[in-house]
Amino acid sequence: MEATIDFIKTIIDNLNGIGFPFLVFFIGILEVTFGLYRNKWPKNERWVDISCFILPRLVIQPLVAYYSLHFLPFISPDAKNVFSWVPFFWGFAIIAVADDLTQYWYHRLHHQIPWLWRFHRTHHSASYMGMAMASRQNIIYTIFFSQIYLTAALVYLGLGIPAIAVRAIKSTITTLAHSSIPWDKPFYKYKVLHPIAWVLERLISTPATHHAHHAATTDDGVGHYKGNFGNMFFLWDILFGTALISRKYPSAYGISHYEGDQWTAQLLWPIFKSKVEGSELAPNGPVVRVEDDYEALARREANKEKKETVKQQSAAVPVLSNN
């Protein structure tokens, strides 16, 4: 029996190590294949996404290793494996609630407390959804992210297997909720699946509810960046009245007044500031900038499309003249 548990533990450990980057990579390939990034991934945004994916990992991995191997044994040497008697089911339930509810609050407060907003703004500045932007965060938001330390502490206390199982399920749900592949659409389309959809969209984060959180607009019946804060469980939003379920996907994502702040400012604010005048990340920028109205947003989107069309036409001209 112990050999079987050890075997399962090894599989979970390995999946936990390589599983998340593999999942992101695999879904990313699918998104590119389906052309979901066409004309949506400008050079500046590419730098933001790639640097936010790689650089924080270089800082956080050694930090977590130090925390697990030195800090926890130093502050509490007798606590190692103290809760290893907790049955898997209960360990899973306790950790799932503790982990995800804490993250719900961490996320919600970054939206509702004005001075915290700039640490989370980078995640919302992307005008597209998908694997490219899923890890896009300011480094300070990532460093203080409770989940990493909580999981490490629970492993130390002897709840390693349920903690890793929760992390694997949570990573899958949150990754799929950020994906530009609307896997939940069939549940809304076919009447026979409606009861499952009803439960699903209230229990976990789906692309429809999480995309609404990333919408460029709010209070229009679809976009809802003032709510839908849940990561693994959407239940918290239902319970606390911050949910909006529309079963629709927003037409525009991001921040309506976003003008492409440099990747250094987006990743490392307040160490590096933005050169974009009036930006929330600029030296004298506002703590929270009031959203532009819908007309301004529509104008900006139209201008962007116009620019892209002109670019494509001018790129095509030399080819035609050569023929």
Partner 1 sequence: MKVEKATKDQITRNVIVSLFIYILPIAAMFITFLITGQRPWEKKTQHLENTKTITSKNSQNNGSND
Residues binding partner 1 (CB under 8 A): 84-87, 90, 93-94, 97-98, 101, 105, 109, 112-115, 239-241, 286-288
φ, ψ dihedrals at 215, nearest 5°: -65, 150
CA distances from 96 to 80, 99, 147, 318 (A): 21, 5, 11, 58
Query: How far apart are the C-alpha atoms of 224 and 243, rounded to whole Å?
Result: 8
Task: Return the number of the residue (88 or 183) whose C-beta is nearest partner 1.
Answer: 88
Q: At what angle do helices 43-66 and 146-156 cross, to 10 degrees?
A: 30
Task: Return the number of the residue (79 or 86) whose C-beta is nearest partner 1.
Answer: 86
Query: How far apart are the C-alpha atoms of 176 and 49, rounded to whole Å?
Result: 17
- Answer yes or no: are the C-beta atoms of 237 and 243 closer than 8 Å: yes
Smallest gap from residue 204 Cβ to partner 1 (A): 17
Q: DSSP 3-state assignment of 171?
A: helix
Smallest gap from residue 284 Cβ to partner 1 (A): 14
DSSP letter, residue 79? G
First to last CA, the chain: 72
Smallest gap from residue 3 Cβ to partner 1 (A): 16
Task: Return the number of the residue (10 or 84) whose C-beta is nearest partner 1.
Answer: 84
Task: Return the number of the residue (37 or 105) whose C-beta is nearest partner 1.
Answer: 105
Smallest gap from residue 142 Cβ to partner 1 (A): 23
Query: How far apart are the C-alpha atoms of 175 and 183, rounded to whole Å?
Result: 12
Smallest gap from residue 231 Cβ to partner 1 (A): 15
Task: Return the number of the residue (94 or 193) whose C-beta is nearest partner 1.
Answer: 94
Amino acid at 176: L
CA distances from 156 to 76, 78, 89, 172, 278 (A): 10, 10, 18, 24, 46
Task: Return the number of the residue (93 or 181) whose C-beta is nearest partner 1.
Answer: 93
- Of 200, 184, 211, 196, which is closest to residue 235 (Cα–Cα)? 200
Task: Return the number of the residue (97 or 276) whose C-beta is nearest partner 1.
Answer: 97
- Using a 10 angstrom Cβ sphere, with 0-12 exposed, 13-18 middle and 19 or more buried, the burial of residue 131 is buried
Smallest gap from residue 28 Cβ to partner 1 (A): 34
Smallest gap from residue 111 Cβ to partner 1 (A): 10
